[in-house]
Amino acid sequence: MKAAIEIKNLNFKYSKDQDYVLKDINLTIKEKEFVLLMGPSGCGKSTLINMINGVVPHIIEGFREGSVRVKGKDVADEELRNLSQMVGTVFQNPETQFFTLSVLNEIAFGPENLCLPREEIDRRIKEVVKTVDIEDLIKKDIMSLSGGQKQRVATASVLAMRPSILILDEPTSQLDPQGAIEMLLTVKRLREKLNATIILIEHRLEEVSKHVDRVLVMDDGRIIADGPAREVFSQVDMLEGIGIRPPQASELAVQLRQKNLITPAEIPLTSDEAISMLKSLIDKQWRNNIPSLPLKSAGYVKKTENPPLVQIENLWHQYPDGTVALRGIDLLIHDGEFVGIIGQNGSGKSTLVSHLLGLLRPSYGRVLLFGKDVSQFSVPEMAKSVGFIFQDPDLMLFQTSVWSEIAFGPSNVGFSPEEIEERVRDSLKMMRLVGFEKRHPHALSRGQRHRVAIASILAMRPRILIADEPTTGQDYGATKYYLELLRKMNREGATILVISHDMKTIAKYVDRVIVLRDGRVLFDGPTRAVFGKPEILETTDINPPQITQISLDLKEYGFPTCLTVEELVSCVEKVVGS
């Protein structure tokens, strides 16, 4: 099979940088291959794909050694017009690549700029609309669409150029679980219907690993692993060492192998494969005498003995267009709790949090913070009491240096210069930003900008901290550091609320989960109890973490609901370890 992409002895650094961001890259990707590209934030993934699609060097300049050839042609010598017909890229935020306001015009934009005949443009539109299943969206305005729908429109607009190579850069990073499923099903359909080469950058490994032909792992500008998914995901220590966590089914098998509970065998990638492996293992040694297995982690301890910091009483909210977003919400959040809020897009999560911040006024009912109606708080009082970390860090950053960004909040609520300096230095240290003080926030990577945004809130030392989608755009290592920091703050007395579509994060870190659907509280309870009810979560298009799904399928053997790989390994060890 011919090579679609050939990279030889590639080294690259940006014009103003001293260090190379790509080092000794030698890579061949064959036509029609489906490749998963992984690596921690800042490892060079984005630079590598921008070398392939021509953004570097045609738009962003730098110094290159070696060659990058697409379909036999050197990218540096080819015009962007021609490259755009060979390589199409769908970015993680689809709105950054939209040029028009309607779905139809957006899809037609590329072919029109190639000056194709009207008949050919119409033919391409009909073809790609069917391929990505957006026939019902063709007459809609782009801004009226959901995140998953926007991502599919962006994909259609790229496919209309008929590239032979398709690059998808974290296409599910800003989507809820249902939107992510829709997008990944679209990628699967593209694989089946098109003869394109596909390069996918993605953190949702459980969903994509079974579909790809090959996995590439990057770290510090180099490719450090290259092979089939089962082979690469069996190298758990290597992956975790650079901040990547493999699918939980694979991690489970590796840990069981390390404990000599299973013999070397093919690593599972899916829940079904792991369940089959475990049932076969247990059936060989089970003696029908397994009691309910206790877990080492006691889990949720209800903190009702602490005073409620948040009291929400019969809260309703209707927007001016008539949309009823909240319908009679009653909640108490007590001092020192670590709470997760989950639910599909449109369930009311953002509207609920906006009331906690005083950004919206109830249509009916009331919201109290520390026993006082939210409407009675001044802006400085609210800033000292409640910290909110946006999903998109760029919405929070407006200063010209990292130091001034972090100092802005404390400076504007009247702290002394000495107190401000102490708070800024503490926040810089906590978020690993020492040395970045003079850098412009928008000159940093997205992960670094997120850390600056967090530091600006930590400098206020609020009693209640709300984190909106803390895992978006973050690799496992950065996510783990961030959530461990929140856990530490919680243990030191802060009340933490996390809004997330990442069920692994919710399962591992929070004590209590509030499930919203259609503006109502569908379920509210300990994390283990919530994830032990998959039939309830299913009504919200949410699935428990992969490891929890596996444990639920083993209930016939007396297994409890497990929230982490370590818990399930412990349970298996008690069953077959003696």
223 and 320 together in one domain: no
Does a structural domain hold residue 447?
yes
Q: What is the DSSP letter of 13?
A: E
Helix (H), strand (E), coil (C) string for 105-171: HHHHHHHHHCCCCHHHHHHHHHHHHHHCCCHHHCCCEHHHCCHHHHHHHHHHHHHCCCCCEEEEECC
For 421, the 3-state DSSP assignment is helix
Q: What is the pLDDT of residue 516?
A: 95
Domain carrying residue 425: 308-544
Which ranges of 413-471 does DSSP label H, i.e. alpha helix?
417-430, 446-458
157 and 254 together in one domain: no
C-beta neighbour count of 569 within 10 angstroms? 22
**What residue has token string 């995901």?**
233
Does a structural domain hold residue 300?
no
The burial of 469, by beta-carbon neighbours within 10 Å (0-12 exposed, 13-18 middle, 19 or more buried), is given as buried
492 and 560 together in one domain: no
Farthest CA pair distance, the chain:
74
Give the span between the Cα atoms of 508 and 240, in whole angstroms. Answer: 16
Q: What is the pLDDT of residue 391?
A: 76
**What residue has token string 């490892």?**
43
> What secondary structure does DSSP assign to 483-494, as a single string?
HHHHHHHHHTT-
Does a structural domain hold residue 324?
yes
* Position 117, amino acid: P
128 and 51 together in one domain: yes
* Position 167, amino acid: I
Give the span between the Cα atoms of 406 and 177, in whole angstroms. Answer: 33
C-beta neighbour count of 361 within 10 angstroms? 12
pTM value is 0.84
Give the span between the Cα atoms of 520 and 511, in whole angstroms. Answer: 20
Q: Could you give the count of Cα atoms lying within 13 Å of 287 in the half-sphere of its Cβ?
A: 6
130 and 273 together in one domain: no
Q: What is the pLDDT of residue 286?
A: 64
* Position 389, amino acid: I
Q: How far apart are the first and last CA of the chain?
A: 51
**What residue has token string 């929400």?**
312
Find out whether 520 and 537 touch, Cβ atoms under 8 Å. no
Find out whether 128 and 107 touch, Cβ atoms under 8 Å. yes
Does a structural domain hold residue 254?
yes
314 and 458 together in one domain: yes
Structural domain ending residue among the three candidates 217, 238, 259: 238
505 and 485 together in one domain: yes
261 and 229 together in one domain: no
Helices (H) and strands (E) in the chain, counts: 23, 20
Does a structural domain hold residue 243?
no
Does a structural domain hold residue 526?
yes
Give the span between the Cα atoms of 463 and 384, in whole angstroms. Answer: 8
C-beta neighbour count of 22 within 10 angstroms? 25
Give the span between the Cα atoms of 339 and 18, in whole angstroms. Answer: 44
Interacting residues of 118 by C-beta distance below 8 A, sequence separation 6+: none
Task: List average pLDDT for each run of 10 residues in the chain, which is 578 residues long.
Answer: 92 86 96 93 90 91 93 92 90 86 94 92 92 88 80 89 90 72 78 85 85 94 96 92 91 91 84 92 68 48 73 94 92 95 87 91 95 90 88 84 93 89 93 90 81 91 90 76 90 93 92 95 94 89 91 90 92 78
Phi, psi of 386 (to 5 degrees): -130, 125
* Position 47, amino acid: T
Q: What is the pLDDT of residue 293?
A: 52
Give the span between the Cα atoms of 492 and 488, in whole angstroms. Answer: 6
Give the span between the Cα atoms of 215 and 208, in whole angstroms. Answer: 11
Percentage helix, strand, coil, to 5, in the chain? 45, 20, 35
Give the span between the Cα atoms of 564 and 560, in whole angstroms. Answer: 12
Number of structural domains found in the chain: 3
524 and 380 together in one domain: yes
42 and 154 together in one domain: yes
Find out whether 45 and 39 touch, Cβ atoms under 8 Å. yes
Structure tokens at 145: 């669409």
117 and 20 together in one domain: yes
Q: What is the pLDDT of residue 149?
A: 82
Does a structural domain hold residue 299?
no
Phi, psi of 396 (to 5 degrees): -110, -10
Structural domain ending residue among the three candidates 218, 238, 258: 238
The CATH number that applies at residue 36 is: 3.40.50.300
For 315, the 3-state DSSP assignment is strand
For 44, the 3-state DSSP assignment is coil
Q: How many residues does the chain have?
A: 578
Give the span between the Cα atoms of 553 and 526, in whole angstroms. Answer: 20
DSSP-derived pairing of the beta strands 165-169 and 197-201: parallel
507 and 524 together in one domain: yes
C-beta neighbour count of 341 within 10 angstroms? 26
Structure tokens at 302: 């209800």
Give the span between the Cα atoms of 417 and 410, in whole angstroms. Answer: 9
Q: What is the pLDDT of residue 39?
A: 92
Beta bridge mates, 60: none
Rg over CA atoms, the chain: 25
Structure tokens at 500: 């997330």
Q: How far is residue 158 from each of residues 3, 94, 117, 132, 531, measured CA to CA in Å?
A: 22, 11, 18, 11, 38
Structure tokens at 485: 């920091």
Q: How far is residue 352 from each of residues 71, 174, 346, 393, 507, measured CA to CA in Å?
A: 51, 19, 11, 20, 22
Phi, psi of 401 (to 5 degrees): -150, 160
Does a structural domain hold residue 295?
no
DSSP-derived pairing of the beta strands 62-70 and 22-30: unpaired
